[in-house]
A and B are shown apart, each in its own frame.
Chain A
Amino acid sequence: MKRIDPTIRFRIGLAPGPDDREDPASRHGDEGETFVPPIDIHEGTDGLVLEADLPGATEQNLRIELEDNVLSLYATVDSAIPEGARLIHEEYRRGSFHRSFILSDDVDRDRIAAELKNGVLRLVLPKADRARSRRIEVKS
C-alpha cells in the first residue's frame, strides 16, 4: 500500500539564511563554501523522521530555524586541522551545510524534536492530531 502523503514538503537550498544575506561573497572563500547535506526521510510511529548527514557538526555550530513554514538547517563546521599542516589530497572540502524544508500544516511544530549524534542530525516531525484524524476520514 503506497500512498503519497505530503505531510512535509521539502525543497533544497531555497531559503537564504541570515548569514547568506550578509556576505554572499563568502561562498567563494576557502572556508566559506556551503554544501547541501544528504538526507533520508522516513515514516515513524508518530510522524516523519528526517536524518541529515552533517559530519563535523556540533550542538554549538548547528542552528535549526523555523520561520513561517520553512525549516532550515545550518551548520558551520570548524576544522580541527592544526596550523602548518599542508593539504596534500582532498576529497571533501570544509565549509558549512545548509538545507531548507517546507513543512505542511500537518506537522506539529511545538513537538519537533532534534538530536545530533556522530555527525547525524535526527529531526522528529510529529503529525498534528488534527492531521491524523483528518487522514482517517479520507481513507473511509
Chain B
Amino acid sequence: MGGTHWQGRWDPFRELRNEMGRLFESLEPFQLARRTYQYPPLNLYDAVDRYLLTAQLPGALAEDLELSISGETLTIRGERKRSEGVKDDQYRRQERPIGRWGRTITLPDRVDAALVTAAFSNGILTVALPKAESAKPRQIMVSTTTEAAPPNSRGESGSRGESSS
C-alpha cells in the first residue's frame, strides 16, 4: 500500500480519474470486449451430450428470471433493480448496472427443449440443454456380415417392386 491517500485532502474527482486510468491500463483484450458488453455476460460449454450455459446475474432472484427456448434459440430476460428504498441522491457511487435486460442465444445445434433445466445459485445462472438425439455424437456400428443392405431398406425395395409390377 503506497499510502498516497494521505497526500492532500480527499478529492473524489481525482479518485475517479485514477480509477479511469487504472481501468484503461489494465485492459486486456477480453475486458476491452466487455466495454461494449451485453448484460448478462454468458459462457457456453459443450459437455458432449448437452450444452451448459452460465450467466453472471448477481442480485437476481430465480423467480424473476424468464427463460424460453424455441428450436435452437434460447432467450433469457429479467430486470435488475436498485436496492429498495434508496433514492438517487443517496448514492455516492453507482457502478452496478440496472434496468431491464434480455439476451437471445443461438445454440450451435438442436436441443431437447423438454429436458432443459436451469438452476440459480450465488448469482450464477446455469442452464443445462441436453442435445437433441439427432445432434448427439453417436457411434456407427460397422457390420461385418456380407449382407450389405439393412432389413428395412430391403422391405422398401420389395414394396416398390410390387407397385411397379
A positions within 8 Å CB-CB of B: 2, 4, 6, 9-16, 38-44, 48-49, 51, 53-58, 70, 80-82, 84-93, 102, 118-120
Contacts and interface: CB of A to CB of B under 8 A. Distances in A.
Contacts of B56: 53, 55-56, 92, 119
* Interface size of B as a range: 35 or more
A51 B86 CA distance: 12
B2 to A, nearest CB: 7
A40 B120 CA distance: 23
Contacts of B18: 11-12
A91 B10 contact: no
Interface of B, secondary structure class, is mixed
Contacts of A84: 47-48
A2 B89 contact: yes
Contacts of B2: 14
B59 A85 contact: no
Nearest to B6: A102
Interface of B: 1-2, 5, 10, 12, 15, 18-19, 22, 30, 33-34, 37-38, 41-48, 52, 54, 56-61, 83, 86, 89-97, 108, 120, 122-124, 126
B91 A56 contact: no
Given A2-B89, A91-B42, A119-B59, A56 B122 contact: yes
B22 A81 contact: no
A85 B43 CA distance: 12
Given A12-B19, A88-B45, A41 B91 contact: yes
A91 B41 contact: yes
